[in-house]
Amino acid sequence: MKIFKQIANLAIIAILFIFSSCSNKQQGNAQMASQISEYNVLEVTPQNITLYQDFPATLEGEQTVEIRPRVAGYIERILVDEGDYVKKGQVLFQLNANDIRAQVRSAEAQVKVAESQVSTAKINLEKTQPLVEKSIVSEFQLESVKTELQSAEALLAQANANLANAKANLDYTMITSPTDGIIGTFPYRVGSLVSSSIATPLTTVSNTSTMRAYFSINEKVFLQMTKSLKGNTTREKLTKLPEVELVLPDQSIYNHKGKIEIASGIVDPQTGAINVRAAFPNPEGDLRSGGSGNIRLPEYHNNVLLVPQNASYEIQGKHFVYVANSDNKIVNTPIEVIVGNLKDVYVVSSGLKKGDKIVVEGIAGLRDGMEIKPKVTVQEAVADNIQPSNE
């Protein structure tokens, strides 16, 4: 009987031990479950975006003409001011013309003298001709009179040429603009003696109705930009490029868009860059020759995936994100990104697919294979220049 009681007590102890173990195991499982942390995850979806690349540019007018005098003289009047807009043919400078007017009067007098000589020679010819016919004078004298007439006519032609040249010089004392445009600076003032040989022009006139922006593009970027465009020549391909913007020095955007017109056929061996020219309309005259800015080229990407930059980390130049799988375990995933001008966002070119869930916060405390409790958030418009999808 005593032995039976001992066996019963042992059985009860064993049962209590089993129940205690199961309870401890359940409590351990519950404790482990309570230790799984909740993380915000983002389900990536395709979007259409526009990236931009900026290139420093210098501005020049469509036509910039140096204004130089064609005759020597003192500047008597300046009829425009620096920065004025002038029309073709408008008088800009007036030179003192007293000496040239005297030359014109002298040339006119020489013309009258030559005309008188021609008249005299003609009269002599008219008088000599009938005398030769009557054999009163010889043929030699007739030829001599004809020669005198030809000489007088030549002198008259020379006198007329000198008069035309003097009148032209008189006209040149009124220096006019050869084109519409903006007046440059004035290195010479009233009273300055100028001539056609001066080193510095009187001023410049810049036709700025169309402005040309000159900039350089890396050869690799240029090839990526044009390789998918249709056209038999580079010039034809450039016409297919979208319009470009001009970012002014104050970071504002010029209110007219431009087009890329030409690209140099030579790659600079030192910089590996290609010189490119874009044209912008300038109806208000806001742009000036010699100005600067940045040409902004758009780059369109359709149906691409975006990830916040703070959801990724970088190791030795490679980018990684944590992707939550179907078992709520995170997988360290490498991605390829396009670094653009999007604020706090990367464009993913490979490594992710539509519907993947990436952890977007607290990634510093994560490790590969770790189980999490995902809380799905909605992907918002994470950049100002995301284009609305047509889907």
Integer Cα distance of 59 and 290 in angstroms: 5
Non-local (6+) Cβ contacts of 254 within 8 A are 245, 246, 247, 248, 280, 286, 287, 293
For the range 36-40, what are the long-range contacts, defined as Cβ-Cβ under 8 Å and sequence gap of 24 or more?
36/371, 36/372, 36/373, 37/372, 37/373, 38/372, 38/373, 38/374, 38/375, 39/324, 39/359, 39/361, 39/362, 39/366, 39/372, 39/373, 39/374, 39/375, 40/359, 40/360, 40/361, 40/374, 40/375, 40/377
Integer Cα distance of 310 and 277 in angstroms: 38
Q: What is the pLDDT of residue 15?
A: 57
Lowest mean pLDDT among 23-32, 51-60, 84-93, 141-150: 23-32
Query: What are the boundaries of each domain within the chain?
Result: 38-51+301-387, 54-60+207-300, 70-95+173-200, 98-171
Phi first, then psi: give them for residue 2, nearest 5 degrees: -65, -40
Segment 210-219, tens digit of pLDDT = 999 999 998 8
On the question of pLDDT at 382 being above 50, the answer is no
Of 60-64, 233-237, 274-278, 351-355, which has the strongest mean pLDDT?
Answer: 274-278
Out of 2.40.50.100, 3.30.70.580, 3.30.450.40, 1.10.287.1080, which CATH number does the structure's domain 70-95+173-200 have? Answer: 2.40.50.100
Q: Which CATH superfamily is domain 98-171 in?
A: Helix hairpin bin (1.10.287.470)
For the range 187-195, what are the long-range contacts, defined as Cβ-Cβ under 8 Å and sequence gap of 24 or more?
188/75, 189/75, 189/78, 190/75, 190/76, 190/77, 190/78, 191/74, 191/75, 192/74, 192/75, 193/72, 193/73, 193/74, 194/69, 194/72, 194/73, 194/74, 194/75, 194/95, 195/69, 195/71, 195/72, 195/73
Integer Cα distance of 244 and 297 in angstroms: 5
Q: What is the pLDDT of residue 300?
A: 78
**Helix crossing, 139-172 with 98-133: angle to 10°?**
160
CATH number attached to the domain at 54-60+207-300? 2.40.30.170
Burial tier of 365 (Cβ tally within 10 Å: 0-12, 13-18, 19+): exposed
> Considering the entire predicted model, what is its pTM?
0.60
**Averaged pLDDT score across all residues of the chain:** 84
Out of 3.30.1330.30, 2.60.120.260, 2.40.420.20, 3.30.300.130, which CATH number does the structure's domain 38-51+301-387 have? Answer: 2.40.420.20
Lowest mean pLDDT among 126-130, 142-146, 197-201, 382-386: 382-386
3-state SS class at 79:
coil
Integer Cα distance of 378 and 391 in angstroms: 18
Give the sign of the dihedral formed by CA 6, CA 12, CA 15, CA 20. negative
Distance of CA 186 to CAs 173, 213, 288, Å?
17, 25, 17
Segment 6-40, tens digit of pLDDT = 555 555 555 555 555 555 545 444 444 447 888 88
Q: What is the pLDDT of residue 388?
A: 38
Amino acid at 316: Q
Q: What is the pLDDT of residue 197?
A: 92
Show the tokens assigned to 130: 């009938």
